[in-house]
Structure formats: C-alpha cells, structure tokens
C-alpha cells in the first residue's frame, strides 16, 4: 500500500473512493453529501459508516462517510473511524482512496498523517494460515488531503505498521513452527536485510555465563534455548536504548501444569520477543538517528522427567539464588538473566516487555499494559508515548513493601510472591536485576493478543515503543 499527500478537493479526486467525516452536530463539509446523509437517516456517531454511490458533483464513484460523533475531534475517535473504513474497504475493494483532511484536537497534522498510514496499513494484516500464500491487500494507494509535500510521517506510519505485522505474524504462528530456533532465524534475516549486528548464544554459551535461571526453564523441552541480540547503530558511539523481550514460544506451565482450557493461546507467550523484533524492523527501516539493541531470551517451557520442580533452587547470572516455587512463573526466570546480560551494552535505558502475569489482565483488562519503572522520568516518557501512539500504558507501584513478599527461607528470593499484587511482585523480582541502569517493565499479557472469534496477536506494544524511541531523537 502506497501513501501520499494530495492538494486536491475531494470532489475532484478521480480514484475509486473518497472518505469524508461527518459530525453529529455539524454534518459534513461537502454540501452535496449532507442531503444524502439526512435522507439515509445516518447518525454520525463514532464508528459508524455510510457508503454512497455516484454522488452528483463528485468524480469518484464511491463516497464513504465516517461518523466522528460530536466535535471536537478526538484521537481515539479518528483511529476508530479509520478502523471502520478498513472494514468497509475489505468489502468494496477499492484500488485507490482519498481521505479528507481532518484536524484532531491536541495533535498536529503530522500526527494525522502518521496515524492514518499506521492504522490503514495495519488493517491489511491477515493471519496467514499454514501452507497458504500470504493474503494480498486490495488497496494500492491512499492519498491524504493536504497542502504539504513532506511524506516522512507517512513513511513512519507505514513502517510502524510493518513492524506490527512482523510481531503479529510471529505471535500467530503455531509453536511447532515458531520455536526458539525460528526466532533466532528471524533475527538473522533482519540482520541480513538491514545490516545489523547479530549474536545468538547457544545453551553451552549461556551455561558458561552462569545463566542457571534461564536454563532451568528450557531443560524440560527438546527445543534448545537461544539468547538473541540485534544491534542497530544510527548514532555513532551513543549509549543504546536496549529492549528485552520475553520469548517463551510455548508455556505449558512446566511441572506446575496449566489447565487445558485455552492452553493453545500459550503460543502467544513470546509476544514480548515478537514486539521487540518488530520495533527493530521499524527503526532500522526508518534509518533512525539513534542506537538500538534488542535482546531476546527464548525458550519452551515443558514438563519432562528432567524439568525444574517446585522447591528447586537455581543460581542466576548475577549470582543471586532463586527458589522456584512455581514453574509457571517462568518468564521472570529467563528475563532476569537477560537483564543481567544487557549490562555489557552500557545502556542508556533498558525496557523489557513481557506477557508476564495474568494478574495484569485482572487489573487493567485489554486496554492498557502495566508499567513499572525504577526511574520516574523514564516512566513519564513511556506514558506520554502511549498517549501519542494510542497504545496506552498505566503505571503501577514498585515499592519495597511488595518486594518483601518475595522472601525465601532457602534462597535469596522466591520466584512468586503469593496471590496478591502478582503483577507488582513480578516486577519487583525483575527490579533486583536492574540496579545498574534506568529500567522500565511493560507487562503486556492483556494487550498482546485477543481471544475468542477475534483470536490473534495485536502487535502491541510496537507503536508505544517506537514512539518512545522517536521521541528521544526529537
């Protein structure tokens, strides 16, 4: 899909379809469309649409009217309108589309360009069934009405959507295909495509480094673990932003076996890994003026005769010991060694993203990811990036009172802190390994995928993380 800016009245566009916006209290800008809206009793509430054919005075054969509710225009309503448009496009299959200019309260025109390209490009993603060809989008070109000729924001929006598409594709793949080895191969392919530095640590490499915590998770599986790092250098010797993504390609729970209902969705337990790979794709594609490194600890968590057992004690790379009270709290066991490993990169900041706790879904549902940090400025920057990208985060506390719940009689800490505040105690566990740098943790268990009839990966938090990184450039 190609995006462009066009300084042309809606009436003169000679493509297949024009998109205009209607408001509950003011109607539409084009006078010849307003009578048809009233004739069809169209209520211009947010998320509604009306398709008109062969409107007098408009060259395009189809006009799509999108409801925006009452003024002022909100960012969320605009994104919702674009999502509605994408659903209509899948039915009418236009080749070329023009979108009317629209001002959004609190955002400039560049944000509109970027969000339009991102939402419409992301909407072209379809799950690729195993053994089938990748679906082809019907729309070839989208023109956005504007007097500008700088298309950089359009390129950014499309690149973000393409990073989301990679994250979604990896998440949606079945776990017998998307193994730790497959994620390593994906990283190597990105390194080749964008000339990135790539390193893959094997099991014996991690054993030499003393990563007993990470390896305690993988040893019950036939799939060998990997520790993947990819580095993009766009700003000389500047300290890199480091992203760490949890990559449990399937989580059975181990000996602390999960219930069977919904266990198929545990293939999505690597969405943190998928998201940081997607972010790297976007930043490298944009050739951004920044240094970025991603680190992906990736394993499969399975029960076997040699799997870790509740009550086992392991030693992490940092030298701290951990009593494994629940083998289904495995994400923190692989992340803690990765968070120690990233010290070698001398990071400016470290942000990990992980489908870490079911507790965050109870707390925040599917709308916000949970954010905890040891640096409030970093937390504020991520919260702001979430608002700009419409990929929101909500900050939860990270305090010593919660950390005390991790006490163990047999090791430096247990890997769980009890039923209460599970999202926070998981972050407290990780915080013990992040004392040497600024760090934030994103718990995306509620936002990384959808269940039911809409089952599929969402590509979040690629937009949030990309926005954060781009904000550090400006």
Summarize the confidence of residues 212-240 as an average pLDDT.
Answer: 97
State residue 474's pLDDT score: 66
Q: How far apart are CA 451 and CA 261, in angstroms?
A: 12
Catalytic residue among 258, 309, 436, 438: 258
How crowded is the C-beta side of 279, counted as CA atoms within 13 Å? Answer: 34
State residue 132's pLDDT score: 83
Burial of 131 (0-12, 13-18, 19+ CB in 10 A): exposed
Strand ranges, E, within 306-368: 313-315, 321-323, 349-354
- Report the candidate in 93, 142, 147 with the shortest Cα–Cα distance to residue 115: 142
DSSP state at residue 224: P
Average pLDDT, the chain: 95
Show the CA angle centred on residue 233, arms to residues 354 and 179, nearest 5°.
35
State residue 30's pLDDT score: 64
Please tell me the total number of residues recorded for the chain in this structure.
474
Question: pLDDT class for 435, splitting at 50, 70, 90?
Answer: very high
Decide if pLDDT at 217 tops 70: yes
Domain 160-473 in CATH 3.30.390.50: no
State residue 175's pLDDT score: 98
258 a catalytic residue: yes
Decide if pLDDT at 25 tops 80: no
Catalytic residue among 80, 114, 332, 432: 332
| Contact indicator for 163, 279 with CB cutoff of 8 Å | yes
Decide if pLDDT at 5 tops 90: yes
Domain extent listing, the chain: 2-145, 160-473
pLDDT digits (tens, 9 = 90+) for 280-311: 999 999 999 999 999 999 999 999 999 999 99
Q: Which CATH class is domain 2-145?
A: alpha beta
Summarize the confidence of residues 415-444 as an average pLDDT.
Answer: 97
Summarize the confidence of residues 165-169 as an average pLDDT.
Answer: 98
* H-helix or E-strand spanning residue 457: strand 456-457
Decide if pLDDT at 29 tops 90: no
Summarize the confidence of residues 186-215 as an average pLDDT.
Answer: 98
Summarize the confidence of residues 80-107 as an average pLDDT.
Answer: 95
Q: How far apart are CA 397 and CA 236, in angstroms?
A: 36
């Amino acid at each position: 899909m190609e995006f462009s800016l066009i300084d042309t009245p809606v009436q003169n566009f000679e493509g297949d379809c024009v998109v205009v916006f209607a408001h509950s209290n003011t109607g539409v800008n084009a006078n010849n469309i307003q009578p048809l809206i009233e004739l069809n009793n169209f209520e211009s509430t947010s998320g509604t649409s009306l398709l008109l054919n062969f409107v007098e005075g408009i060259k395009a054969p189809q006009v799509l009217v999108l409801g925006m509710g009452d003024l002022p225009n909100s960012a969320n309503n605009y994104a919702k309108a674009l999502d509605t448009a994408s659903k209509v496009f899948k039915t009418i299959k236009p080749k070329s589309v023009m979108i009317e200019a629209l001002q959004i309260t609190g955002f400039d025109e560049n944000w509109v360009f970027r969000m339009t390209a991102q939402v419409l490009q992301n909407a072209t993603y379809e799950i690729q069934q195993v053994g089938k060809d990748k679906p082809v989008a019907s729309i070839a070109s989208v023109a956005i009405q504007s007097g500008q000729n700088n298309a950089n924001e359009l390129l950014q929006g499309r690149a973000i959507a393409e990073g989301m598409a990679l994250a979604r594709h990896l998440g949606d793949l079945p776990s017998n295909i998307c193994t730790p080895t497959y994620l390593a191969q994906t990283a190597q392919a990105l390194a080749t495509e964008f000339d990135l530095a790539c390193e893959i640590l094997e099991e014996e490499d991690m054993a030499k480094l003393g990563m007993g915590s990470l390896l305690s998770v993988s040893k019950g599986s036939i799939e060998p673990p990997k520790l993947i790092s990819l580095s993009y250098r766009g700003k000389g010797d500047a300290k890199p932003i480091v992203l760490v993504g949890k990559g449990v390609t399937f989580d059975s729970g181990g000996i602390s076996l999960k219930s069977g209902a919904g266990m198929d969705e545990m293939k999505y337990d690597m969405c943190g890994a998928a998201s940081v790979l997607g972010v790297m794709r976007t930043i490298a594609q944009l050739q951004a003026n920044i240094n970025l490194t991603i680190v992906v600890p990736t394993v499969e968590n399975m029960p076997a005769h040699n799997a870790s057992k509740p009550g086992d004690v392991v030693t992490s790379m940092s030298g701290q010991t951990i009593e494994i009270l629940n083998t289904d709290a495995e994400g923190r066991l692989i992340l803690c060694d990765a968070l120690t490993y990233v010290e070698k990169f001398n990071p400016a900041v470290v942000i990990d993203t992980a489908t870490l706790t079911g507790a965050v879904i109870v707390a925040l549902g599917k709308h916000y990811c949970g954010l905890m940090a040891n640096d409030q400025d970093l937390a504020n920057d991520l919260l702001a990036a979430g608002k700009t990208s419409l990929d929101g985060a909500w900050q939860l506390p990270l305090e010593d009172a919660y950390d005390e719940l991790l006490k163990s009689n047999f090791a430096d800490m247990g890997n769980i802190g009890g039923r209460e505040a599970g999202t926070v105690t998981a972050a407290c566990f990780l915080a013990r390994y992040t004392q040497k740098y600024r760090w934030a943790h994103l718990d995306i268990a509620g936002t990384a995928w959808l269940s039911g009839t809409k089952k599929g990966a969402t590509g979040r938090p690629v937009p949030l993380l990309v926005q954060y990184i781009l904000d550090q450039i400006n």
